[in-house]
Amino acid sequence: MIASPNVEAPRLEDLIKAQSYGLGFDLVGITTLGVATTADAFDAWLERGFAGEMSYLPRTAEKRRDSRLPFAGAKTAIVVAMNYGGTEPSGPVARYARGDDYHDVMLERLTQLHRWIESHVGREVQGKPYVDTGPLLERDLARRAGLGWFGKNTMLINPRAGSFFFLGTLLVDLDLASDAQFVTDHCGTCTRCLDACPTGALVEPHVLDSTKCISYLTIELKGEIPSELHEKIGALVYGCDICQDVCPWNVKFARELSEPAFASRPVLAGKDAAALAHDILAMSDEDFRIAFKGSPMKRAKFKGLKRNASVVIGNIGTIEDMSVIDAEERAVAPSRNHESSI
């Protein structure tokens, strides 16, 4: 059958999106590169000291302010999002970190997308994928690409998917038509995320003091967790989902886990905080390497996980539980319930 000469060929942009969905991404948008609309806000955030020990943020600030700088010659960003199961039950480990490392999973898919684009256009396309580790303000690009708005909890929120998703970007040297920027804010007068944060890390709408955030304290912080924040960490061993859990957009639109790579690994599956903390404190270095191979939880390193587990045992454990903490870790896990018994 001969195609009608009046039927238009699909646009490259539409084909790229279709291929992205076929690779397992849940959202995709396209935007041109340039000075970030949030550059001034980012500078102000750094100036207030809210980056804490994350020295790579001010060190790469110049590139982050302008998305044309990280990869020379790039003109366009293809921004994708991948759901990691916001309807999964809450627990001692944030949902994003329970399975395989999302950096590896998404970088592989973005590389596949890059190769497909080259094959389709019939030439080499200069480009580079980024997932969370490059000098990009990825939320800024995602909003420009129409994927959502910035919630008061600082997360990117999509009106059909909530916020339980990872962001990734493929920078390319192609001139592609941009999607409409997401310009509206749908948080309204809601302050549930600010009210629910145990440590008061959300100091005002859209502003996070990382040095108070439980995710920062249990992952990025390399030293000891300030003693005044121990109790507020509660039963959280790694990361925190509280400001996402209470968001009405997640209550209504969070999606079921669809990517097998993000399912909980055996060392975590079905365990409450006390059981997980016990297991971590009983591990050897070799046990840790085997159990968390390919896991994003390795970012905290074994020492950091033991620190976190000790704090959790100090918060929720019994006197018998405290006996599993060795002398070194016990010093960083004072418990108001057990001080007289240790």
Task: Quick: pLDDT tens for 233-271.
Answer: 999 999 999 999 999 999 999 999 999 999 999 999 999
258 falls within a domain = no
245 falls within a domain = no
Q: Which tokens is 137 given? A: 């303000």
Q: Which tokens is 315 given? A: 């918060």
Q: Is the pLDDT of residue 341 over 60?
A: no
Q: Is the pLDDT of residue 279 over 90?
A: yes
148 falls within a domain = yes
Return mean pLDDT, the chain.
93
User: For residue 169, which phi and psi values (nearest 5 degrees)?
Assistant: -140, 135
Q: Is the pLDDT of residue 157 over 70?
A: yes
292 falls within a domain = no
Q: Which tokens is 85 given? A: 């199961």
Does the annotation count 245 as an active-site position? no
Instruction: Give the percent of the chain with pLDDT over 90.
Output: 89
Q: Is the pLDDT of residue 342 over 60?
A: no
200 falls within a domain = no
> In the beta sheet, which residues pair with residue 170?
78, 129
Q: Is the pLDDT of residue 332 over 80?
A: no
What total of structural domains would you count in the chain?
1
d(CA 54, CA 51): 6
127 falls within a domain = yes
24 falls within a domain = yes
Q: With H, G, I as helix, E, B as strand and everything else as coil, classify residue 77.
A: strand
Domain hosting residue 23, numbered range:
12-172
Report pLDDT digits (tens) over 97-106.
Answer: 999 999 999 9
**Predicted pLDDT at 325:** 62
What's the mean pLDDT in 122-130? 98
Assign 3-state DSSP to the chain and report helix, strand, coil percentages, each to 5: 40, 10, 45
Report pLDDT digits (tens) over 57-80.
Answer: 999 999 999 999 999 999 999 999
d(CA 182, CA 187): 14
323 falls within a domain = no
d(CA 33, CA 126): 15
d(CA 65, CA 37): 8
Choosing from 43, 132, 245, 279, which is the catalytic residue?
132
